[in-house]
Amino acid sequence: MRKFTYLVPKTLDEAISLYQSYGERAKYIAGGTDVLVKIKEGKLAPDYLISLKHIISQDRPFLNHETGELYVGAFVTHRMIETSPLVQAHYPILYDAVKNIGSVQIRNVATIGGNLVNAVPSADGAIPLITLDGKANIYGAKGQRSVDLLRFFLGPGQCDLERGEILTEVVVPRLLPRTGSAYIKHGRREAMELPMLGVGVLLSLEADMETCAKAGISLGVAAPTPIRALQAEKHLVGKTINEETLAEAGKIAGEESKVRDSIRGVAWYRREMVAVLVTRMGMKALERASRNAEVGMGNK
Ligand SMILES: Cc1cc2nc3c(=O)[nH]c(=O)nc-3n(C[C@H](O)[C@H](O)[C@H](O)COP(=O)(O)OP(=O)(O)OC[C@H]3O[C@@H](n4cnc5c(N)ncnc54)[C@H](O)[C@@H]3O)c2cc1C
């Protein structure tokens, strides 16, 4: 493996300044599960790896009790998210997604920030956070900025980061009451596998516990970037949520997807699977919302 110098800055500003000093010869590294594989395969050849893992000591997703916002730090590992009681209780869509990323060994070191910045269409961390209307907070030489996570993804392997900018966290707005959510990664097997599709559904119900107040439907590996099936979401709002209305929304989502034939599966099959999985995840989200009707915040 090619030799490189490993730098360990203690602050964001120090990391950015190192990046500016070394330019093209430097690369940020968090958990390293993508970067090191690429170096080994000869796809990357940095002279300097700038570690981001020692900058912020925040070790778990946390809730701002005043605003109801969930903060997920970019340097948080998938395992920290998976084992978070807060995530398990109220953001099961995120739990569903991270619990099947790689293996426990991978999840112990791989970060959610690395997963998002990598920006592959199959990134499991992206779909739940997009469905939850997450915003990406970004820090760079020009200061702090924030973008909708949906707009953060520009193309396969491309995201909205300027040279040297660092993704610092994702902020999820307060959940509506009576919310349920679910995610599925569809492939030949659940773990250690590139998915054929990733589908996330979030439903918030009116007080009657059957009318849809808000819907979120996101699809991964269904287009060059993760997408929201906006027409399908619109179809559900104001309607009674049941298998029939969810199947209608699933069909619309399939039509909104931009799936194509690939080694992972042929387009018609993947389109049909979008419909099936939106229905299935919708029913799961509905059940979770109903189970949690008495709990103010969201899903349990
Ligand atoms: C065996 C194996 C199985 C895997 N299985 C899955 C899977 O099931 N699902 C899945 O989605 N992924 C999977 N992955 C991919 C990978 O583990 C994840 O994408 C992981 O979350 C990447 O995080 P990391 O911290 O290791 O990123 P790194 O490798 O450290 O970095 C990835 C990229 O992001 C940049 N970067 C990292 N953090 C930041 C930041 N905060 N700001 C700016 N730039 C940053 C780096 O410069 C680099 O370009 C797998 C990988 C392996 C090796």
**Ligand 1 site, residue 169, Cβ cutoff 6 A:** no
Q: Which residues are paired to 64 by β-bridges?
A: 69
Tokens of residue 178, six digits: 């009576």
Q: What separation in Å is there between the alpha carbon of 33 and the centre of ligand 1? A: 5
Q: Is the dihedral of CA 58, 60, 63, 69 positive or negative?
A: positive
Q: How many CA atoms lie within 13 A of 246 on its CB side?
A: 24
CB 154 within 8 A of CB 160: yes
Paired residues of 211 in beta bridges? 240
Which of 33, 147, 225 most suits a substitution to test ligand 1, by most atoms within 8 Å of the C-beta?
A: 33
Sign of CA dihedral 181, 186, 191, 195: negative
Q: Report d(CA 226, CA 203) in Å as an integer.
A: 19
CA of 110 to the centre of ligand 1 (A): 6
Show the CA angle centred on residue 167, arms to residues 161 and 168, nearest 5°.
Answer: 155
Coil/strand/helix, residue 234: helix
Q: Is the CB of 110 under 6 A from ligand 1?
A: yes
Fold of 62-172: 3.30.465
Angstrom distance (rounded) from CA 279 to CA 276: 5
Q: Which two tokens stand for residue 274?
A: 């979008």
Considering only residues 209 and 187, tell me which one the structure prediction assigns the higher pLDDT: 209
Nearest CA to ligand 1 atom 4: 102
Binding site membership of 52 for ligand 1 (Cβ less than 6 Å): yes
Whether 257 lines ligand 1, by a CB cut-off of 6 Å, is no
pLDDT at 265: 80
User: Residue 105 has what pLDDT?
Assistant: 96
Query: Taking the model in full, what pTM does it have?
Result: 0.94
Is 192 or 70 the better-scoring residue by pLDDT? 70
Asked whether the CA dihedral 230, 232, 235, 240 is positive or negative, the reply is: negative
CB distance 144 to 101 below 8 Å = no
Show me where the domains of the chain are located: 5-51, 62-172, 179-291
Gap between the Cα atoms of 227 and 74, Å rounded: 21
24, exposed or middle or buried, with CB in 10 Å at 0-12, 13-18, 19+?
exposed
Atom 49, ligand 1: which residue's CA is nearest? 118
Q: For residue range 229-286, list pLDDT tens digits in order.
A: 999 999 999 999 999 999 999 999 999 999 888 877 889 999 999 999 999 999 999 9
Asked if 53 and 75 count as a contact pair (C-beta separation under 8 A), the reply is: yes
Q: Is the CB of 114 under 6 A from ligand 1?
A: yes
CA–CA distance, 295 with 176 (Å, rounded to integer): 11
Q: Which residues contact 158 (CB under 8 A, 6 or more apart)?
A: 119
Once rounded to an integer, what is the mean pLDDT over residues 192-204? Answer: 87
Q: Which residue's CA is minimally distant from atom 2 of ligand 1?
A: 102
How far is CA 51 from each of CA 111, 133, 275, rounded to the nearest angstrom? 12, 29, 41
Residue 227 phi, psi (nearest 5): -130, 160
Tokens coding 71? 């903060």
- Domain 5-51: CATH architecture, name and number where available: 2-Layer Sandwich (3.30)
| Tens-digit pLDDT profile for residues 116-155 | 999 998 899 999 999 999 999 999 999 999 999 999 999 9
Q: For residue 148, which of 232, 216, 66, 206 has the smallest C-alpha distance?
A: 216
Looking at the domain that runs over 179-291, which CATH code has it been given? 3.30.390.50
